[in-house]
Amino acid sequence: MKESSYLKKVKEQYENYPYPKRELKDEKGGMYTSNSENLTRLNHYGFKGDMPLFKKNKGKPFRVLVAGAGTGDAVIHMAEQLRDFNAKVVYLDMSQASMRVAKKRAKMRKLKNIDWILNSLLELPNMQIKKFHYISCTGVLHHLESPIEGLNALKSVLKKSGVMSIMVYGLYGRTGIYQMQELMKLVNKNENNMQKKVDNIKNMLPTLPAKNWFKRDEKTWREKLIQGGDIEIYDMFLHSQDRAYTVPQLYDYIEEQGGLKIIEFIGSSAHTGKLAYRPENYIRNENILKKVKKLSKIEQQSVAELMAGTFNTHTFYVANKADTVASTRDFDLIPYFTAPMLKNMILERKNSHLNKILKLNIEADKGPKGLLQFEMTPLRIKLIELVDGKRSINKIFDLIDLDNKELLKTFDPIYMMFHNFDLMLLKSKKFPRILTTYEMQERFITKYL
């Protein structure tokens, strides 16, 4: 690894504190998953529902790169989902200690579809490596001296039709953390011992006055700090290279400087999904909302970010072109519920709520929260009944004796209502069934452990 292609202090941190903290004994307890790595979402948002994914020994391998993969969460999640497919997952990180942890986890799971590379991601353009369909880069680019150099390095190995998911820090939601970082630079001025630096902040945290900006927001971070221990403490408060983005800065970085397109915000929690970036979630005054809705998309998303004040990360899909999202205009696509029990819940109420408003509180797994409400007309109920994950939009419409244009007028709002929560997505006929997280973990425990 060329010394000029990484920051010495950053490498030193991740050799001593491989991130995130993962222990083999926990592997049986569950799998760490993320929304962006979820293949069904990726298929919908990144490949118009028709991802080139084939069974083993068929077609070309689906290639995934996890850049700055750390102790391996995304690599494991991807490799588990792709176990039965013709696919290759490439792990890349510059920290040997992190790679060691990730390799042990993969070995325990008997995953054979991972290639391992110990190097800086800035070396990617020189690696003569085959290009990738999907690149995942979470919590890495904001730790580079030049984030644009990092983005360009990733772009150089992304297929033309490929997609990336990126997570970088959000500025406003980390206000307290940056004040603590400044504070600790002063407190640790002549301290070179990493563990002593950690001990110093551990001593200071309990004595922070109630109105300290980190203290005010402590609840947000508590669980992360308890789970991650010293590793998390170092990453949060003592990082030597750490920057964050507002929405406009993000567009400038990815689109203006990087020449790529932000496709959609995916989010990793209830607070950062695509709905969180919409002003209508926050503004209750109709006149103000009307005015705000006339602003550009970036300005509207900025309004949402400033109203919320809590975005501490931005997670989003990125591609060379903006037209990667599946649409109901493609009648060959198959709509499906991502949580099939929701369909049952609605249909169970079809008699009691006929022509009445049905209200359901949604709290999707790691997804947005909100109220789903709609009038249960007979046509709407019929359309929901016909969405079975097998019939295409064409087929569904064929089964109802109405003009397709009319049907689309009813179907589109239903689709959007569920889709806003990622509860309804679209896929092509060829897209295979992907096991649920629960099924994958069951398979690991019963077949591979």
Ligand X SMILES: C[S@@+](CC[C@H](N)C(=O)[O-])C[C@H]1O[C@@H](n2cnc3c(N)ncnc32)[C@H](O)[C@@H]1O
Which token pair is 341? 């029990």
Site for ligand X in 26-55 (CB under 6 A): none
**Looking at 20, 46, 176, 367, which residue binds ligand X (CB under 6 A)?**
20
Phi, psi of 31 (to 5 degrees): -120, 135
Stretch that binds ligand X, among 52-60, 139-147, 273-281, 374-382 (CB under 6 A): 139-147
Stretch that binds ligand X, among 89-97, 224-232, 337-345, 418-426 (CB under 6 A): 89-97
Only one residue has tokens 């709520």, namely 353
**Looking at 27, 80, 93, 305, which residue binds ligand X (CB under 6 A)?**
93
Q: How far is the CB of 277 from ligand X (least distance, A)?
A: 21
Q: Say whether residue 244 binds ligand X (CB under 6 A).
A: no
Phi, psi of 290 (to 5 degrees): -55, -45
Site for ligand X in 221-240 (CB under 6 A): 235
Cβ–Cβ < 8 Å for 170, 314: yes
- Taking the C-alpha atoms of residue 300 and residue 305, their distance in angstroms, rounded to an integer, is 9
Site size with ligand X, rule: CB under 6 A? 22
Site for ligand X in 57-76 (CB under 6 A): 68-70, 73
Which C-beta is closer to ligand X: that of 96 or that of 203? 96
Stretch that binds ligand X, among 12-20, 43-51, 279-287, 301-309 (CB under 6 A): 12-20
In what helix (H) or strand (E) does residue 288 lie, and over which residues does it extend?
Answer: helix 286-292
Site for ligand X in 145-174 (CB under 6 A): none
**Looking at 94, 158, 236, 386, which residue binds ligand X (CB under 6 A)?**
94
Which C-beta is closer to ligand X: that of 21 or that of 369? 21
- 75-113 burial code (b ≥16 CB/10 A, e <16): bbbbbbbbbebbbbbbbbbbbeebbebbbbbbeebebeb
Stretch that binds ligand X, among 13-21, 126-134, 325-333, 425-433 (CB under 6 A): 13-21
Q: Say whether residue 98 binds ligand X (CB under 6 A).
A: yes
Q: Which residues lie across from 373 on neighbouring strands?
A: 359
Which C-beta is closer to ligand X: that of 217 or that of 232? 232
Site for ligand X in 105-124 (CB under 6 A): 120-122
Instruction: Let me know how many helices (H) and strands (E) the chain has, helices first.
Output: 17, 11
Nearest to 194 by CA among 440, 392, 17: 17
The 8-class DSSP code of residue 410 comes to H
Which C-beta is closer to ligand X: that of 94 or that of 424? 94
> In Å, what is the CA distance from 91 to each residue of 39, 61, 158?
17, 16, 15
Which C-beta is closer to ligand X: that of 178 or that of 374? 178
Q: How far is the CB of 32 from ligand X (least distance, A)?
A: 8
Cβ–Cβ < 8 Å for 326, 333: yes
Cis ω for the linkage preceding 20 (within 30 of 0): yes
| Chain centre to alpha carbon of residue 114 | 21
**Looking at 39, 75, 87, 140, which residue binds ligand X (CB under 6 A)?**
140
Which C-beta is closer to ligand X: that of 139 or that of 370? 139
Print the binding letters for residues 265-304 with ligand X: x by CB under 6 A, - otherwise.
Answer: ----------------------------------------
Phi, psi of 126 (to 5 degrees): -100, 5
Q: Which residues lie across from 92 on neighbouring strands?
A: 67, 117
Q: How far is the CB of 21 from ligand X (least distance, A)?
A: 10
Q: How far is the CB of 239 from ligand X (least distance, A)?
A: 8
The 8-class DSSP code of residue 431 comes to P
Q: How far is the CB of 138 from ligand X (least distance, A)?
A: 4
Which C-beta is closer to ligand X: that of 144 or that of 275? 144
What's the helix, strand, coil split of the chain in %, to 5? 45, 15, 35
> In Å, what is the CA distance from 213 to each residue of 78, 100, 204, 436?
37, 37, 14, 40
- Taking the C-alpha atoms of residue 205 and residue 11, their distance in angstroms, rounded to an integer, is 26
Which C-beta is closer to ligand X: that of 33 or that of 95? 95
Stretch that binds ligand X, among 92-100, 182-190, 194-202, 440-448 (CB under 6 A): 92-100
- The residue ranges that bind ligand X (CB under 6 A) are 6, 10, 14, 19-20, 68-70, 73, 93-95, 98, 120-122, 138-140, 143-144, 235
